Amino acid sequence: MAQHGPAPTEPATAAAPEVSLTIPVAPEMEIVATAQADALGEYMDMPRDKIDEVKLALVEACINAFEHAHTEDNQVHITFRVGGSAGEWLEIEVRDQGRGFDAEGIEPPSPQKTFQERRRRGWGLHIIKSLMDDVEIASGDWGTRILMRKYK
């Protein structure tokens, strides 16, 4: 669900155990972030295929921030939370302090546009929504926050 307006002040699951990571906007830094997702997914016994889906969604969220945020601090902040009574889900919050975008104004991609109109880019958010179970996108002049959750 895309949201607009002021920055969210509370994470969705403030009480859950969490790991935080800040990566610079630089080539392949998204892979550094996926190593953390890999470790947490294995820790909570998430099936390998689901871990791979989480990792790709995280890659897409990071490169979306790298390409579009134009952050002044040149950083992307990532928080991982394992939640549920027995580690039933992994939540990842990806934040940047860039210029934001109109998440609801983005025209959805399609294979037809990709092949017939040669509009190949713009798939990142669609892939994230396809691979994760819950996704919230909030963006404004304070930056962008993508909050996504995968159940085990």
Partner 1 sequence: MSETCKVSVERRGDVAVFWTDGYINNQGGEEIAKEAYSELDRGARALVMNLEKTRIVNSIGISILIEVLEKVMERKAVLAFCGLTPTIDKTFRIMGLAQYAAIYPTESEALQAVGAPA
Binding residues vs partner 1 (CB under 8 A): 27-28, 30-32, 34, 49, 52-53, 55-56, 59-60, 63, 109-112, 114-115, 120-121, 123-124, 126-127, 130-131
128: nearest Cα among 34, 37, 57: 57
- If the CB atoms of residues 43 and 115 are measured against partner 1, the closer one turns out to be 115
Q: CB–CB of 125/106 below 8 Å?
A: yes
Percentages helix, strand, coil for the chain (3-state, rounded to 5) are 35, 30, 35
**At 48, which amino acid appears?**
R
- If the CB atoms of residues 60 and 96 are measured against partner 1, the closer one turns out to be 60
Spatial separation of the C-alpha atoms in residues 106 and 139, rounded to whole Å: 12
- If the CB atoms of residues 33 and 147 are measured against partner 1, the closer one turns out to be 33
Least Å distance, CB 132 to partner 1, is 12
Least Å distance, CB 56 to partner 1, is 6
Pairing of strands 2-4, 134-140: parallel
Least Å distance, CB 22 to partner 1, is 16
